[in-house]
């Protein structure tokens, strides 16, 4: 902790040494550190909130001057009702999760006296770069320790005072336990980030949590694997047999429940056959919630015939780039899918989504299980839902307890990433002088048993 | 196939379209293509061997001129006894493996009528770059089709004739099945490789199979995730309580069974306490097999007192860089671990290995289960073995049927990579108009069930 003056190399190698010591601790020893973390943050609540108030005061002035988004200000404020307690509770929730380390996922008898095991283990050293929200430091510290990984944390400049206060408490709390103090290191200066991103022999995984710009910067500037999503361009397709009520409920929730979230709806594909049945009701409900609809010609034509003039003032012409845009706002791009297209339109919808979506979460509205199954196996996204809101794409909602972030990667971990995403495995063999050269076809060659053993 | 003239972009986008079609085929449909592949390669054996003979003739002249390594020549020759039949049998073995696609690994009742599933699915588009061995094209084609991935294959220039012959047969064989013909594309020209490595939006994973130089080139020139190992710097540690007979058997096999393999032993760490008991017998056995031992001062001193002068001619002085060298030859670096070090030496051995090894496979020789367990949880490598040869690190030996390669990555897939390493998963939710906004703490808020359902 507080290694702001150290070079990236020494931060990373210190973390690497800590990671090795963490890897051999028991679940009880790791949990003990989480309890200490919880108690430390509970006991120092006043001091931490005082530090946070300084950040909030500074940010309020910046917001008044128009230099800071008001949503950043909101995310920064730890004194909002329930927020501090949620942070504390989160640490206990992580502590009480099943140990992700040391689980045997494969056990094979290779030959008499020669067994193979695949055992889950920590990844090693994580670099986590995040923006405003100060409670993330506590969540991430808890997740990292629970999974036996060392973490290097870099927070946003708006929350400097909060970070220093929280990290001092974390540091003190951990030092009374078997978890090495340098398992969690805080980096405050921005210029060290580029140097850390170059430490690909010591840092095993980078997790950027914040704006698309942050994620893209990280992906473009490191050889270390990056876990995260730059975009959440989620789409919905309304098939010709969709249920009206289900469509309205799901689409309004997907678009308006929290428009700034990565799992909010950005593109609506409507089968031509329901342009004058389902679309108008959906559009009226969305417009009533303040959504602007960017329509192609057929959908606009259908709405012009059914919406009143006040409602029509929320309908504008779509341009091609709207179908590649993550609005993160009360704006929805609408495109018509010809009913005469293959699969009565579902294939065209699949093609559009696989070409334009960011592989985050995409949904279909249909009464047909067969159509839904086809859509779900064809769409190449981390989440594919049938008659349910895109907003369900979330670690807490999935029942993971918490999440490190949502991944649109195609390898390792996809969708909401929980503790499992912070682990990997190693293969262990136990023998008694066994030689590989003894196993071969032919005279004198030993034969493999390859018997699955109970886990 | 035969898209040598096409641009990298069109190759990658063709593969991407094929991947989407592959993703919805059943196991039976994919297996049918593997049967066709097998039958095609069986029926065209003579033509393929004739093409291969041309490659071998050219390579033989290059080898005579000293322009080609004789081991490359050996790997190139498909007419060696059993090799063609092994290739054919490999396709049937892959076909008969359990379907890696569509397996539900998590099923949760989120709420009444709202279920979450995690289902295994193909990664998408693989780019596989390999060197001499022509049978790899058949293996990789089989693995890719079985796992529902499209593959772009680039082979080495020495095997051009063989590749064209095999790929023509594969192309014909597939075209009679539901598997899209462009699921397997062969790229022959070297200059297209760099452009393919730039297709990070269309290609999901690169697997280089060949020299360290090839792997490093690929890792340094792409943003696409790379699965593979650049080095196999495997170490063994002989603890003070190791069994003499077990040590000799395991170490001789690890070093001499196949010195050019990535899972061969390169560094031997010897506890000071056994320098004059175990080391001399091990050294005599290794020297008898033609191994040169590069020793530090204490180990050389111990051997000078026990080996005869002929044997001592195989003992040379180690330099520091030897402990970072993958010799791939009958050479072994030996270093002494002070017995007075923490953990009676095991901690120093762990530190050395975690600092110098390439995280491939490392082993310990000890009679103590506790010491072995500590070593196995402390060593940060894909394989950690107790009293067994490093040479067991292999997909076939692990019982995976076959392997795509061995990974020293810290994420996704580690160690020998079988079919599982070519899959990822997606999350599917099935609902009935469910809105995320209905779930919250407080009056009127729906509560999560989060019940694990049977798989």
Quick one: tokens of A443?
């005279």
Residue ranges covered by each domain of chain A: 8-220, 234-397
Q: Is the pLDDT of residue B157 over 60?
A: yes
Interface contact flag, A246 B433, Cβ < 8 Å: yes
Q: Give B230-278 pLDDT, tens digit per residue.
A: 789 999 999 999 999 999 999 999 999 999 899 999 999 999 999 999 9
Q: Residue A169 has what pLDDT?
A: 95
Highest averaged pLDDT of the listed ranges A144-148, A162-166, A393-397, B338-342: A144-148
On chain B, the residues whose CB falls within 8 A of the CB of A424 are 410-412, 414
Instruction: Report which of B228, B238, B215, B209 is spatially closest to residue B75, judged by C-alpha positions.
Output: B209
On chain B, the residues whose CB falls within 8 A of the CB of A245 are 433
Q: Which fold has domain B234-397?
A: Aldehyde Dehydrogenase; Chain A, domain 2 (3.40.309)
- Average pLDDT, rounded, for chain A: 93
Q: Residue B190 has what pLDDT?
A: 73
Whether the Cβ atoms of residue B384 and residue B362 lie closer than 8 Å to each other:
yes
Order across the sheet with B423-434: list the strands. A315-317, A292-295, A331-337, A265-271, A234-238, A361-365, A383-388, B423-434, B114-122, B104-111, B451-452
Place of tokens 């001062």: B297
On chain B, the residues whose CB falls within 8 A of the CB of A246 are 432-433
> At B427, is the secondary structure helix, strand, or coil?
strand
- Average pLDDT, rounded, for chain B: 93
The least confident of A52-61, B219-228, B310-319 is: B219-228
- A211 pLDDT tier (thresholds 50, 70, 90): confident
Q: Give B34-79 pLDDT, tens digit per residue.
A: 999 999 999 999 999 999 999 999 999 988 888 887 777 888 899 9
Whether the Cβ atoms of residue B44 and residue B169 lie closer than 8 Å to each other:
yes
Closest Cβ opposite residue B412 in set A219, A249, A412: A412
Q: Residue B423 has what pLDDT?
A: 96
The least confident of A37-46, A312-321, B200-209 is: B200-209
ipTM, two decimals: 0.92
Quick one: tokens of A234?
């989620």
Q: Give A8-19 pLDDT, tens digit per residue.
A: 889 999 999 999
Quick one: tokens of B58?
């050219």
Query: Three-state SS across chain A?
Result: CCCCCCCHHHHHHHHHHHHHHHCCCCHHHHHHHHHHHHHHHHHCHHHHHHHHHHHHHHHHHHHHCCCCCHHHHHHHCCCCCCHHHHHHHHHHHHHCCCCCCCCEEEEEEEECCEEEEEEEEECCEEEEEECCCCHHHHHHHHHHHHCCCEEEEECCHHHHHHHHHHHHHHHHHHHCCCCCHHHEEEECCCCHHHHHHCCCCCCCEEEEECCHHHHHHHHHCCCCCECCCCCCCEEEEECCCCCHHHHHHHHHHHHHCCCCCCCCEEEEEEEHHHCCCHHHHHHHHHHHCCCEEEECHHHHHHHHCCCCHHHHCCEEECCHHHHHCCCCCCEEEEEEECCCCHHHHHHHHHHHHHHHCCCCEEEEECCCHHHHHHHHHHCCCCEEEEEECHHHCCHHHHCCCCCCEEECCCCCCCEEECHHHHEEEEEEEEEEEECHHHECCCCCCECCCCEECCC
Closest Cβ opposite residue A431 in set B374, B387, B434: B387
Q: Residue A134 has what pLDDT?
A: 85
On chain B, the residues whose CB falls within 8 A of the CB of A250 are 431, 433-435
Interface contact flag, A253 B436, Cβ < 8 Å: yes
Q: Residue A6 has what pLDDT?
A: 54
How many Å separate Cα A168 from the centre of its chain?
Answer: 27
Closest Cβ opposite residue A415 in set B23, B108, B427: B427
Distance of alpha carbon A378 from alpha carbon A353, whole angstroms? 10
- B31 pLDDT tier (thresholds 50, 70, 90): very high
Buried b (16+ CB within 10 A) or exposed e, B439-455: beeeeeeeeeebeeeee
Interface contact flag, B410 A225, Cβ < 8 Å: yes
CA distance B67 to chain A (A): 31
Q: Is the pLDDT of residue B5 over 50?
A: no
Average pLDDT estimate for A161-179: 93
On chain A, the residues whose CB falls within 8 A of the CB of B387 are 430-434
Average pLDDT estimate for A204-230: 87
Q: Which residue of B has its CA nearest to A447?
A: B397
Calculate Rg over the CA atoms of chain B.
Answer: 26
Whether the Cβ atoms of residue A232 and residue A203 lie closer than 8 Å to each other:
no
Interface A:B, Cβ pairs < 8 A: 244
Q: Is the pLDDT of residue B4 over 50?
A: no
User: B8-220 domain in CATH 3.40.605.10?
Assistant: yes
CA distance A25 to chain B (A): 9
On chain B, the residues whose CB falls within 8 A of the CB of A439 are 397
On chain B, the residues whose CB falls within 8 A of the CB of A378 are 20, 23-24
Q: Which residue of B has its CA nearest to A441?
A: B82
Whether the Cβ atoms of residue B105 and residue B120 lie closer than 8 Å to each other:
yes
Q: Residue A188 has what pLDDT?
A: 80
> At B317, is the secondary structure helix, strand, or coil?
strand
Closest Cβ opposite residue A424 in set B257, B414, B431: B414
Burial of A211 (0-12, 13-18, 19+ CB in 10 A): middle
Q: Residue A343 has what pLDDT?
A: 77
CA distance A119 to chain B (A): 10
Number of Cα atoms under 13 Å in the Cβ half of residue B173 = 26
Q: Which residue of B has its CA nearest to A258?
A: B437
Stated as kind and residue range, the H or E segment containing B279 is helix B278-288
Beta strand ranges found along B272-410 (DSSP E): 292-295, 315-317, 331-337, 361-365, 383-388, 405-407
CA distance B277 to chain A (A): 18
Average pLDDT estimate for A270-281: 97
> At B87, is the secondary structure helix, strand, or coil?
helix
Interface contact flag, A448 B374, Cβ < 8 Å: no
Average pLDDT estimate for A100-110: 96
Closest Cβ opposite residue B399 in set A110, A425, A428: A110
Q: Residue B440 has what pLDDT?
A: 87
On chain A, the residues whose CB falls within 8 A of the CB of B223 are 219-220
Instruction: Report which of B155, B148, B151 is spatially closest to residue B140, judged by C-alpha positions.
Output: B151
Q: Is the pLDDT of residue A2 over 70?
A: no
Whether the Cβ atoms of residue A289 and residue A330 lie closer than 8 Å to each other:
yes
Closest Cβ opposite residue B426 in set A116, A124, A384: A384
pLDDT > 90 fraction of chain A, expressed in percent and rounded:
76
Q: Residue B6 has what pLDDT?
A: 54
pLDDT > 70 fraction of chain A, expressed in percent and rounded:
98
- A45 pLDDT tier (thresholds 50, 70, 90): very high
The least confident of A329-333, B167-171, B282-286 is: B167-171
On chain A, the residues whose CB falls within 8 A of the CB of B414 are 424-427
Q: Is the pLDDT of residue A455 over 50?
A: yes
Q: Residue A264 has what pLDDT?
A: 97
pLDDT > 70 fraction of chain B, expressed in percent and rounded:
98
Closest Cβ opposite residue A424 in set B243, B411, B424: B411
Sign of CA dihedral A131, A132, A136, A141: positive
Average pLDDT estimate for B166-178: 93
């Amino acid at each position: 902790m507080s290694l702001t003056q150290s070079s990236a190399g020494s931060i990373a190698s210190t973390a690497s040494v800590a990671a090795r010591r963490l890897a051999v601790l028991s679940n009880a020893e790791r949990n003990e550190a989480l309890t200490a973390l919880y108690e430390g943050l509970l006991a120092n609540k006043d001091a931490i909130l005082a530090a946070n108030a300084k950040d909030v005061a500074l940010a309020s002035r910046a917001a008044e001057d128009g230099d800071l988004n008001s949503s950043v200000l909101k995310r920064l404020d730890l004194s909002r009702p329930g927020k501090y307690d949620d942070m504390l509770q989160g640490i206990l929730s992580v502590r009480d999760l099943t140990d992700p380390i040391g689980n045997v996922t494969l056990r094979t008898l290779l030959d008499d006296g020669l067994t193979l095991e695949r055992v889950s283990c920590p990844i090693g050293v994580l670099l986590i770069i995040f923006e405003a929200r100060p409670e993330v430091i506590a969540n991430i510290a808890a997740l990292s320790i629970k999974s036996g990984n060392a973490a290097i944390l870099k927070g946003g400049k708006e929350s400097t005072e909060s970070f220093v206060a929280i990290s001092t408490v974390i540091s003190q709390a951990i030092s009374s336990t078997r978890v090495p103090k340098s398992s969690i290191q805080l980096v405050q200066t921005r210029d060290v980030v580029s140097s850390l991103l170059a430490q690909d022999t010591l840092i095993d995984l980078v997790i950027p949590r914040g704006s698309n710009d942050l994620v893209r910067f990280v992906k473009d500037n490191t050889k270390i694997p990056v876990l995260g999503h730059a975009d959440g361009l989620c789409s919905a397709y309304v098939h010709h047999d969709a249920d009206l009520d289900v469509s309205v409920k799901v689409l309004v929730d997907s678009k308006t429940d929290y428009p700034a979230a990565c799992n909010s709806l950005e593109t609506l594909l409507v089968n031509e056959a329901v342009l004058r049945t389902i679309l108008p009701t959906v559009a009226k409900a969305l417009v009533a919630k303040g959504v602007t609809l960017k329509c192609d010609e057929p959908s606009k034509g259908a709405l012009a015939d059914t919406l009143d003039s006040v409602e029509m003032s929320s309908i504008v012409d779509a341009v091609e780039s709207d179908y590649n845009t993550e609005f993160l706002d009360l704006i929805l791009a609408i495109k018509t899918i010809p009913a005469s297209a293959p699969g009565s339109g579902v294939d065209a919808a699949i093609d559009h989504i696989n070409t334009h979506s960011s592989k985050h979460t995409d949904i279909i509205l249909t009464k047909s299980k067969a159509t839904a199954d086809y859509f779900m196996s064809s769409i190449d996204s981390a989440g594919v839902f049938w008659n349910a809101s895109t907003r369900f794409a979330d670690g807490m909602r999935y029942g993971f307890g918490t999440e490190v972030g949502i991944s649109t990667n195609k390898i390792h971990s996809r969708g909401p990433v929980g503790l499992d995403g912070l682990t990997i495995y190693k293969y262990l063999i136990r023998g008694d002088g066994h030689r590989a050269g003894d196993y071969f076809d032919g005279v004198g060659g030993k034969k493999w048993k390859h018997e699955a053993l109970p886990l």
